[in-house]
Amino acid sequence: MPSNPTVKLLFEEESTAAGDDLGNWNRKTQQNGSGGIKREKRRFRCGLCWCLSLSGVMLLAGIAIGLFAFTRLYAGCIEEKRNDNEDSELTLEEEIFAECGQGYPWKQVRLPTDISPTNYRLKIHPNLESLEIVGTVDMELQVENETRIIVFHAQDMNLTSFTIRLGSQRVHARHLICPRLLQWAFETDEPFPAKSVIRLSIDYTGFIHKDLSGLYINTHQDKRNGTNDTTVYRISAVTQFEPTHARKMLPCFDEPNFKAVFDISIIRKKEHLARTNMQLIRSEDYEDE
Ligand SMILES: *[C@@H]1O[C@H](CO)[C@@H](O)[C@H](O)[C@H]1NC(C)=O
Ligand SMILES: *[C@@H]1O[C@H](CO)[C@@H](O)[C@H](O)[C@H]1NC(C)=O
Ligand SMILES: *[C@@H]1O[C@H](CO)[C@@H](O)[C@H](O)[C@H]1NC(C)=O
Ligand SMILES: *[C@@H]1O[C@H](CO)[C@@H](O)[C@H](O)[C@H]1NC(C)=O
């Protein structure tokens, strides 16, 4: 598939920006060489630059609009500054506490290793017009060490329903969300025994992204239109999962150590094509409700 240089450039920008999402603030601030500068401080600095560059623009744009905008922006900066003073000593654990709630049972960026996936059965319906994704993922999970929590990644999606089974037995669990860590957790009262196998089934909704990450919408030029030699524009939904974007398409253990087998069903329109790097098992008619 042809890709133009603009797409490549944007992709590189996206990868760099994604680093921030992983809780790499510490690394960044160390590079700054000034020790304990925290996330909020950086935010405030950005706010300040924004004020300064905008006041430059406003001189050109006219005083009437300028005054209004400046008041608004100035208020914004004050707000950020106050934030900075309050939160300047937050540790990762305190941020998790603040953003994910007191009860969130995991406090690290890296997932626990007590449970690992062996198989994902994914059924996904990406709608190329509405850009909505409706999906179901059935995970087969191997319990290595006894634990009461299943923790994995999920970003930009909502849970519709879930079931957890231990053997033939259905297990009750609480669903917990941590935006700070881009994780979901299921917590049970009774621990899953070591060496057991869990089946976790999740129905969810998500969306096709426009920023070249996860499952994203792509437009490309195609010179071939049957025998008609005119350029046509074609739309496709394409995956870019590295480094940490698989979690935007399906709930999953989105770290390189958690390797597993995927069985994928894609619900598509008759006139669309589905392409993957593995062979097709079968294709059948599907009745949409
Ligand atoms: C399981 O627990 C043992 C003992 O605490 C530990 O050494 C091992 O690393 C754990 N295994 C995993 C996969 O976390
Ligand atoms: C998830 O739910 C929130 C709140 O109801 C909503 O704003 C958002 O659009 C939903 N996202 C998806 C992908 O369904
Ligand atoms: C492709 O060519 C066919 C005729 O061969 C024409 O009907 C159709 O409009 C063309 N599509 C586009 C998008 O140009
Ligand atoms: C080729 O496609 C263009 C664009 O849709 C259309 O205007 C033209 O009539 C088509 N030519 C033939 C020979 O089908």
| Residue of 118, 144, 150, 255 with the most ligand 1 atoms within 8 Å of its CB, for mutation | 144
pTM for the full predicted model:
0.69
Q: How far is the CA of 250 from the centre of ligand 2 (A)?
A: 15
- CA-nearest residue for atom 4, ligand 1, is 145
Ligand 2 pocket (Cβ < 6 Å) reads 157-158, 205-207
Q: Return the amino acid letter for 192.
A: F
Q: What are phi and psi of 198, to 5 degrees?
A: -110, 145
Report which bound ligand comes closest to the CA of 223.
3
Q: How far is the CA of 235 from the centre of ligand 4 (A)?
A: 19
CB of 102 within 8 A of CB of 117? no
- CA-nearest residue for atom 5, ligand 2, is 158
Locate 279 and state its tokens.
Answer: 């062979």
Atom of ligand 3 nearest to the CA of 233: 13
| Residue of 115, 141, 145 with the most ligand 1 atoms within 8 Å of its CB, for mutation | 145
Mean pLDDT by 10 residues, the chain (289 residues): 34 35 34 34 33 37 40 44 58 92 94 98 96 97 98 98 96 96 97 97 97 94 74 91 95 96 95 92 85
Atom of ligand 3 nearest to the CA of 230: 14
Q: How far is the CA of 222 from the centre of ligand 3 (A)?
A: 12
Q: Return the amino acid letter for 62.
A: G
In the three-class reduction of DSSP (H, G, I as helix; E, B as strand; rest coil), residue 124 is classed as strand
Specify the DSSP class assigned to residue 86: H
| Residue of 219, 231, 232, 235 with the most ligand 3 atoms within 8 Å of its CB, for mutation | 232
Q: How far is the CA of 248 from the centre of ligand 1 (A)?
A: 29
pLDDT at 210: 95
- CA-nearest residue for atom 1, ligand 2, is 158
Q: How far apart are alpha carbons 225 and 22 in whole angstroms? A: 43
Report which bound ligand comes closest to the CA of 208.
2
DSSP assignments along 173-222, one per residue: -EEEEETTTTEEEEEEEEEEPTT-EEEEEEEEEEE-BSSSSEEEEEEEEE
Whether 277 lines ligand 4, by a CB cut-off of 6 Å, is: no
Q: How far apart are alpha carbons 157 and 182 in whole angstroms? A: 10
In the three-class reduction of DSSP (H, G, I as helix; E, B as strand; rest coil), residue 289 is classed as coil
pLDDT at 140: 98
What is the number of other CB atoms lying within 10 angstroms of the CB of residue 162?
Answer: 16
